[in-house]
Amino acid sequence: MSGNESRRQAIANITNSYPKQGETPDPLSKIWATDVFNLATMEEALSKNAFKAMKKTVLTGAALDPGTADIVAAAMKDWAMAKGAKFFSHIFYPMTNVTAEKHDGFIVTNSEGGAITEFTGSLLIKGEPDGSSFPNGSLRMTNAARGYTAWDPTSPAYIMRTANGTTLTIPSVFMSWTGESLDKKIPLLRSNTAMDKAARKVLSLMGETEIAPLNSSCGAEQEYFLVDENFANSRPDLLLAGRTLFGAAPAKGQQFDDHYFGAIPVRVQVFMQDFEDKLYRLGIPAKTHHNEVAPGQFEIAPYFEAANVAADHQQLLMTLMKATAKEHGFLCLLHEKPFAGVNGSGKHVNWSVGNATQGNLLDPGNTPHDNLNFLLFCGAVIRGVHLYGPLLRAAIASAANDHRLGANEAPPAILSVYLGEQLESVFEDIKAGKLLEKAKSGGVMDLGLSQILKFERDPGDRNRTSPFAFTGNRFEFRAVGSSQSVSGPLVAMNTMLADSLNWIADRLEQTLASGADQATAVISVLKELMELHSNVIFGGDGYSTQWHKEAVEVRGLKNIPTTADALPALKDKSVISLFETTDVLSPVELESRFEVYAEQYILSIELEAKLVCEMASTIIYPAAVNYISQLSTASSGLANTGITLDDSVVESTATEANAMMAEVKKLSTALEKHDFGSIEAHMDYCAEALCTLMLAVRSHADALESIVSDELWPLPKYREMLFIK
Residue 487 interacts, among ligand ADP, Mg ion, none and using kind-specific CB cut-offs from 5 to 8 Å, with: none
- Least distance to ligand ADP from the beta carbon of 121, Å? 34
Q: Quick one: 348 or 403, whose CB is closer to Mg ion?
A: 348
- Least distance to ligand ADP from the beta carbon of 406, Å? 21
Alpha carbon distance 220, 346 (integer Å): 10
**Residues 461-490 interacting with ligand ADP (rule: CB under 6 A):** 473-474
Q: Which residue is nearest to ligand ADP (CB)?
A: 219
Alpha carbon distance 604, 229 (integer Å): 23
Residues 6+ positions from 15 with CB-CB distance below 8 Å: none
Residue 158 interacts, among Mg ion, ligand ADP, none and using kind-specific CB cut-offs from 5 to 8 Å, with: none
Q: Quick one: 220 or 238, whose CB is closer to ligand ADP?
A: 220
Q: Quick one: 381 or 687, whose CB is closer to Mg ion?
A: 381
| Residue 474 touches Mg ion, criterion: CB under 5 A | no
Alpha carbon distance 385, 394 (integer Å): 13
Instruction: Compute the residue count for the chain.
Output: 725
- Least distance to Mg ion from the beta carbon of 317, Å? 16
Q: Quick one: 289 or 548, whose CB is closer to ligand ADP?
A: 289
Are the beta carbons of 416 and 500 closer than 8 angstroms?
Answer: no
Q: Lay out the site mask for Mg ion across 345-364 (x = CB under 5 A, - = otherwise).
A: ---x----------------
Q: Quick one: 348 or 682, whose CB is closer to Mg ion?
A: 348
| Residue 301 touches ligand ADP, criterion: CB under 6 A | yes
Q: Quick one: 191 or 352, whose CB is closer to ligand ADP?
A: 352
Q: Quick one: 302 or 389, whose CB is closer to ligand ADP?
A: 302
Residue 303 interacts, among ligand ADP, Mg ion, none and using kind-specific CB cut-offs from 5 to 8 Å, with: ligand ADP
Q: Quick one: 361 or 722, whose CB is closer to ligand ADP?
A: 361
Q: In terms of Cα–Cα distance, which of 568, 708, 519, 610 is closest to 236?
A: 610
- Least distance to Mg ion from the beta carbon of 463, Å? 12
Residue 217 interacts, among Mg ion, ligand ADP, none and using kind-specific CB cut-offs from 5 to 8 Å, with: ligand ADP
| Residue 386 touches Mg ion, criterion: CB under 5 A | no
| Residue 221 touches ligand ADP, criterion: CB under 6 A | yes
Q: Lay out the site mask for ligand ADP across 68-87 (x = CB under 6 A, - = otherwise).
A: --------------------
Count of alpha carbons within 13 Å of 3, Cβ hemisphere only? 11
Which segments within 481-528 are labelled E, that is strand?
A: none
Q: Which residues pair with 181 in a beta bridge?
A: 175
Q: Lay out the site mask for ligand ADP across 333-362 (x = CB under 6 A, - = otherwise).
A: ---------------x-xxx-------x--
- Least distance to ligand ADP from the beta carbon of 405, Å? 19
Residue 2 interacts, among ligand ADP, Mg ion, none and using kind-specific CB cut-offs from 5 to 8 Å, with: none
Alpha carbon distance 666, 19 (integer Å): 46
User: Positive or negative CA dihedral for 525, 528, 533, 538?
Assistant: positive
> What φ, ψ does residue 311 adopt, rounded to 5°?
-65, -45
CA distances from 626 to 235, 620, 652, 714 (A): 20, 10, 14, 11
Q: In terms of Cα–Cα distance, which of 371, 347, 489 is closest to 426?
A: 371
- Report the run of H or E that residue 284 belongs to, with start and end: none
Three-state secondary structure call for residue 418: strand
- Report the run of H or E that residue 421 belongs to, with start and end: helix 421-432
Would you tell me how many other CB atoms lie within 10 Å of the CB of residue 584?
A: 27
Are the beta carbons of 182 and 269 closer than 8 angstroms?
Answer: no
Question: Which residue type occupies 227?
Answer: V
Chain residues in the site for Mg ion (CB under 5 A): 348
Chain residues in the site for ligand ADP (CB under 6 A): 217, 219, 221, 288, 301-304, 348, 350-352, 360, 459, 473-474
